[in-house]
Amino acid sequence: DLGFMDNLLLVFTTDNGGPTNIASNWPLRGGKGTLWEGGTRGAGFVYSKTLLKKKGYTHPGLFHAVDWYPTLLDIAGGDSSQLDIDGLSQVDMILNGDSSVRNQFVYNINDDRYAAALRWGDLKLIVGDPGNSGRHPRPGFDL
């Protein structure tokens, strides 16, 4: 009745894959705490009754967790270009379905385990111990 839904942007996201002892990240390899895609990719969705120009699709572009702050700041009318942060504003990707402005990012650098991973385009470099691969069968099937 007050019109709040007309100016709402609802974001549901996670920062990593699920732990393999209680979750399945299939078809991705690995889980929470690893550098494999099953441990680093996260599911999410964005909903708005009025703000999204493109709806009902899966976007293939790169989006890092640190991109949320500048993106949401810009959508709310702020100016993220004045910030000295790692995140990149992905306003056009979120609102219009445009391409990602990001083509690379660092997954993690773990000095204690001597492990690191970075991505450039479709290529991923893992150095050191990426963690347990957590290979599990497709849900509902036995090995």
String of DSSP letters for 98-116:
---S--EEEEEEETTTTEE
CA distance 49 to 134: 39
**Most trustworthy range by pLDDT among 4-18, 25-39, 88-102, 107-121:** 88-102
Q: What is the pTM of this model?
A: 0.84
Tell which wins on pLDDT, 74 or 131. Answer: 74
pLDDT in tens, 12-48: 998 888 887 888 888 888 888 899 998 888 888 999 9
Structural domain spans, the chain: 9-128
Q: What are phi and psi of 12, to 5 degrees?
A: -120, 120
- Asked if 28 contacts 36 with a C-beta cutoff of 8 angstroms, the reply is yes
Sorting pLDDT into bands at 50, 70 and 90, what band is 143? very low
**Token pair 């732990």 in the structure block, residue:** 19
